[in-house]
Amino acid sequence: MKLWGGRFTKETNQLVHNFNASLSFDQKFFEEDIAGSIAHVTMLAKQEIITKEDKTAIIDGLNSICDDIKSGALVIDEEHEDIHSFVEAHLTERIGEAGKRLHTGRSRNDQVALDMKLYTRKEIKEMENLLKGLLESLLRIMKENTETIMPGFTHLQKAQPITLAHHMGAYFEMFQRDRSRLHDIYERMNYCPLGSGALAGTTYPLDREYAASLLDFYGPTLNSMDSVSDRDYLIEFCSAMSIIMMHLSRFCEEIIIWNTNEYQFIEIDDSYSTGSSIMPQKKNPDIAELIRGKTGRVYGSLTSLLTTMKGLSLAYNKDMQEDKEFAFDAIDTTKGCIALFHGMLDTLTLRKDKMRASAEGGFTNATDAADYLVNHGVAFRDAHGIVGKLVLYCIEKNISLGEMSLEEYKAISPVFEEDIYDAICMETCVSKRNTIGAPGQEAMAKVIKIYEEYLRK
């Protein structure tokens, strides 16, 4: 059934129908479409725009359609233009005349705006929960690894010793921000477009506040033109998902590096690895690579949506139908990636000995050696130069700073005493860094407590 056609004298060309139709993808929100229609007719009856009998018949009919789609008894065929036409056609087929009253005081423009908002709102909540699960795992790893020493990097060069808890904490911060971004989007978007009509509201005495409250919106939107043509929340959501993917991708990159034969900081579990068809020895980090790869796809959705919207005059234009496939793909991709990443993270084997050994090499304690000199009255710039000489000496001798004898130290600077060894051991380097946000155990304990409280809420 078509929702229009009265003023047409010819059948739609089949290619035009196919090109115009959105049913193949907008069937994804059939439940939201039905929930929106139930709220709409409930409001229409309250306002005495339709009778109570019609309302009851329509709601029963809509519920039976919903049940039948879910059970598979009613198959969504491609004959209809979109999910709105599909539901209305089947409603009228099931309940007769009353079904034709469903669309009173409504346009597909406010209907689709509503459906998409209801769907997106649900997905935002789900994504927030997935992120919460990931944060819980990160916090667990943090708590178990406040003493696990590893090298911290800048420029992918060993820089200073940190702990694994500290490294994981950086990602905790990122995913926490991601969660709060999702929350912000929800707060901003949660206003109901229903009742905006095609663009200019309707002449019926609709109670938009009531309809909005039935659907758990904070209230109705305040401009009908904007209501039917606002896709900002989807752009914001795609942007937030792009940032989530960027974070996952960075984490994956590190997992890939840490999982190499050269690093061996971690081992990805067999259940999250794949093999090679030719090289029997291989165990590849395909999942991490795929998550990294799919990041581009989510960025693509954001760019596509922004580009689709940029030239559109007010109010609704059909271009806007393109929002769905982009958004759906980004949502499914991001949710899938968070879940897979979470599973991979939970099953990682951590090779603490390798992390520790790596931190010992590469002069990660050089800054602490300079700080030692500063604490003994040497100006920092001079201390920097002296330790530079120590490092050069060690490189020539192929030893670490800890392996130099006190005589060798004194030959470069007489300020050094026996306590230099304690000052540059990995444990000291980490545990002395106790300003909030640093890897020292005291500082880390405070941060862990804050994170625990955050996750309890």
Q: How far is the CB of 332 from ligand ARG (least distance, A)?
A: 18
> What single string gives the DSSP state of each residue in 52-97?
HHHHHHHHHHHHHHHHHHHHTSS---TTSSSHHHHHHHHHHHHHGG
Nearer to ligand ARG, 128 or 226 (CB): 226
* Closest to ligand ARG by CB, 74 or 198: 198
Q: Binding string to ligand ARG for residues 24 to 63, with x set by CB under 6 A, is what?
A: --x-------------------------------------
301 counts as catalytic: no
In whole angstroms, the minimum distance from the beta carbon of 197 to ligand ARG comes to 11
The answer to whether residue 40 is catalytic is no
Candidates 233, 299, 316, 416; binder of ligand ARG (CB under 6 A) is 316
**By CB under 6 A, which span of 106-114, 133-141, 155-163, 253-261 interacts with ligand ARG?**
106-114
Q: Which two tokens stand for residue 370?
A: 């300079």
Question: What is the phi/psi pair of residue 424, to 5°?
Answer: -110, 10
- Return the number of the residue (135 or 327) whose C-beta is nearest ligand ARG: 327
ω into 379 cis (within 30 of 0): no
Confirm or reject binding of residue 108 to ligand ARG (CB under 6 A). Answer: yes
Spatial distance between the Cα atoms of 121 and 117, rounded to a whole number of angstroms? 6
CA atoms within 13 A on the CB side of 43: 24
Minimum CB distance to ligand ARG, residue 241 (Å): 20
d(CA 365, CA 160): 6
Q: Judged by CB, which is closer to ligand ARG: 28, or 292?
A: 28
Q: Does 129 bind ligand ARG (CB under 6 A)?
A: no
Select from 42-50, 107-115, 283-291, 386-394 the region that touches ligand ARG (CB under 6 A): 107-115
Kindly report each contact of residues 110-113 with a partner whose C-beta sits within 8 Å and lies 24 or more positions away, as own/partner.
110/193, 110/194, 110/195, 110/196, 110/197, 110/198, 110/224, 110/227, 110/228, 111/33, 111/36, 111/37, 111/84, 111/194, 112/26, 112/82, 112/84, 112/321, 113/193, 113/196, 113/227, 113/228, 113/230
Residue 228 found at the interface with ligand ARG (CB under 6 A): no
Q: Classify 107 as helix, strand or coil.
A: coil
CA 36 to chain centre: 27
- DSSP H helical ranges for 145-273: 164-189, 208-214, 224-229, 232-258
Q: Which stretch binds ligand ARG (CB under 6 A): 117-125, 239-247, 317-325, 436-444?
A: 317-325
Residues 68-97, one symbol each (x = binds ligand ARG by CB under 6 A, - = not), give --------------x---------------
Q: Closest residue to ligand ARG, Cβ-based? A: 321
Q: Which of 321, 400, 434, 441 binds ligand ARG (CB under 6 A)?
A: 321
327/234 Cα distance (integer angstroms): 7
Binding-site member from 109, 301, 333, 358 for ligand ARG (CB under 6 A) = 109
For residue 25, with 0-12 CB atoms within 10 Å meaning exposed, 13-18 middle and 19 or more buried, which class applies?
A: middle
Active-site residue (options: 155, 271, 277, 405): 155
Shorter beta-carbon distance to ligand ARG: residue 59 or 112: 112
Stretch that binds ligand ARG, among 132-140, 149-157, 318-326, 330-338 (CB under 6 A): 318-326
**Cα dihedral value 111, 112, 118, 124, nearest 10:** -160
Please say which residue, 81 or 178, places its beta carbon nearer to ligand ARG: 81
**Per rule CB under 6 A, is residue 22 in the interface with ligand ARG?**
yes
Q: How far apart are CA 8 and CA 31, in angstroms?
A: 31
Distance of closest approach, residue 85 Cβ to ligand ARG, in angstroms = 9
Note whether 320 binds ligand ARG by CB under 6 A: yes
Q: Name the residue nearer to ligand ARG (CB basis): 318 or 381.
A: 318
**In Å, what is the CA distance from 208 to each residue of 41, 187, 200?**
12, 19, 14
Q: What angle do CA 86, 87, 92 make, to 5 degrees?
A: 100
Nearer to ligand ARG, 41 or 114 (CB): 114
Q: Which residues are catalytic?
A: 155, 276
Contact residues toward ligand ARG (CB under 6 A) are 22, 26, 82, 108-109, 112, 316, 318, 320-321
